[in-house]
Amino acid sequence: MNQLVILFGAGGQIGSSICRLLQAPNSSALIRTVPWSVLHPMSWDDRIRLVLGLKANGDQGTVVCAGGVTNPAASRDIILEANLEFPLSIVRALADIPGFRFMTLGTIMEHFPEACRHNAYLASKQALGSAMSVLSGQPSFAGRLLHLRLHTIYSSAIPEHMFLGQMATSLRFGRPFQMSAGHQLREYHHADDFAMTVQTLLSQPWRQATLDISTGLPIQLQDLAKEIFGACGRPDLLQIGQLETPLGENDTKAFPASEPHLVQHYRDARQGAVQAICEFCRLPSS
């Protein structure tokens, strides 16, 4: 039997990778998507009616909320609506439909409260993760909720406000790139690799409500930046230590690797990020 997956955010960096994988000829998923541009102008009631209309009689499956606003400079109200209020409204509205599960996406930075207090995007994801944990304590939600805390996701579709996007802009236009000392630790996971993790999780029972997805292979931002600017032949553009490090950053903690079956496909962060930026900027890589 095909598994129904209702995917929100199919046009985004993560959602598009999930969508491609689940629509592949060998996939058993029956995927239905709704773009945020359609949902955003609707009232909450109309949104729920639209989602219910996607579910045929007798269907069982999973709602995956992969959309949202990642730019912390966006309006706080817009961030909260997209990242917190919308996914929770879907979960609560469909709570009484038997056989339906709900997956939401968060950030590993939820483990760093000080960083979340100073970043609207991180705060919205921390609030979502907390709400999912609370809901999971209700008997009706047992085994039906999963909030994934992700490290940095990247692809060749690079948002300009993100660290990779800022470097790509510098390389594309030959502008100096100023950054902090770069001691922050990050893992970088390609969106296509993460989509395989989602596919695996869709095929198995959920025994916990929150889950960190990690490889256990962090990299300092300064090392990643050096690799990228060097590979693109423009180390002269990189200016390390020119900016203050954001409050509450992670510069010491390496997260343990997830179970092997959840991260079977992982490409080296240095090589993958270089390739993504070169594709984005249409530059030759060394």
Q: Which domain CATH number covers 138?
A: 3.40.50.720
**Alpha carbon of 103 to those of 49, 62, 125, 212: distances in Å?**
20, 7, 13, 13
β-strand pairing of 188-190 with 100-107: unpaired
Rounded distance between C-alpha atoms, residue 122 and residue 108, angstroms: 9
pLDDT, position 149: 98
23 belongs to a structural domain = yes
166 belongs to a structural domain = no
β-strand pairing of 100-107 with 238-239: unpaired
Domain that holds residue 7: 3-158+187-217+256-267
64 belongs to a structural domain = yes
Q: How many domains does the chain have?
A: 1
Q: CB of 132 within 8 A of CB of 63? A: no
pLDDT tens track of the chain, all 286 residues? Answer: 468 899 999 989 999 999 999 999 888 888 888 877 787 788 878 877 887 777 655 567 899 999 999 999 999 999 999 999 999 988 988 888 777 899 999 999 999 999 999 999 999 999 999 999 999 999 999 999 999 999 999 998 889 999 999 999 999 999 999 999 999 999 999 999 999 999 999 999 999 999 999 999 999 999 999 999 999 999 999 999 999 999 999 999 999 999 999 998 888 989 999 999 988 887 665 5
Q: What angle separates helix 120-136 from helix 86-93, to the nearest 10 degrees?
A: 20
172 belongs to a structural domain = no
262 belongs to a structural domain = yes
Rounded distance between C-alpha atoms, residue 211 and residue 261, angstroms: 14
Rounded distance between C-alpha atoms, residue 81 and residue 93, angstroms: 16
141 belongs to a structural domain = yes
Q: For the CA atoms of the chain, what is the radius of gyration?
A: 19
pLDDT, position 1: 44
Q: Which amino acid is at 103?
A: M
pTM of the model: 0.93
Q: Which amino acid is at 196?
A: M
244 belongs to a structural domain = no
16 belongs to a structural domain = yes
**Tens digit of pLDDT for each residue in 1-38?**
468 899 999 989 999 999 999 999 888 888 888 877 78
